[in-house]
Structure formats: C-alpha cells, structure tokens
Amino acid sequence: MSATFNKAGTILIATDNDKLYFFDVVTHLILEDFELGLLPGESIKKIRLSLDGQYLIVFLSNELHEESSKFYWMPMPAITGTPL
C-alpha cells in the first residue's frame, strides 16, 4: 500500500492493491477510483507523481517473478480537490 499527494496538496492518491483512490483532502470524499487488475503475485511498491505533477507513476513488485517487476504511468485525471 502506498499514498501520495498531488502537486497542489488538495488530493490524496492512495492504493489498497485493488484500486487507486483519489480523495479530496478537505472533505475526505472519494473523487475517483480506478481498478488496477494486477497479476497474481504483483503488489504496489509505491506510487509517486512526476516532477511536473502531470503523471502518476505506479511501481509494482512481483513476488513470484522478481525479474518481471515493473512500473506503469498514467496521466493525472482532470480532478480538482477543494482548495485548502
């Protein structure tokens, strides 16, 4: 499990290894969630944002096949949180 904040600090991005969740940090509401569809043995090692805040990077670890551990990236969805 891992979590990070968006560049503005208004959205918490977290995972439970089944989904990615985007939470509004002020209201604590789930703004969006995405199914991960991980393979057997895969788990999220960490999630981070790119330096410009435009991409979410997901680092995976595979207990069964360490050589197949990998990372994925996706553009940050057009979600806005409540201003702080």
Domain ranges of the chain: 2-75
Residue 42 is predicted with a pLDDT of: 87
Which two structure tokens, joined as six digits, stand for 29? 């509401």
Query: Which residue is listed with tokens 């208004």?
Result: 10
Calculate Rg over the CA atoms of the chain. Answer: 13
26-58 pLDDT tens trace = 999 999 999 988 888 888 999 999 999 999 999
Query: Which residue is listed with tokens 């096949």?
Result: 65
Q: Is the pTM of this model over 0.75?
A: yes
Identify the burial level of 63 via C-beta atoms within 10 angstroms of its C-beta, where 0-12 means exposed, 13-18 middle and 19 or more buried: exposed
Q: What is the CATH number of domain 2-75?
A: 2.40.10
Give the separation between CA 79 and CA 18, rounded to whole angstroms. 20
Question: How many residues would you count in the chain?
Answer: 84
Geometric angle at alpha carbon 83, from 77 and 84, rounded to 5°: 125
Q: Is the pLDDT of residue 84 over 80?
A: no
Which two structure tokens, joined as six digits, stand for 58? 């997901």
Residue 66 is predicted with a pLDDT of: 67
57-83 pLDDT tens trace = 999 888 777 666 788 889 998 888 888
Q: Is the pLDDT of residue 15 over 90?
A: yes
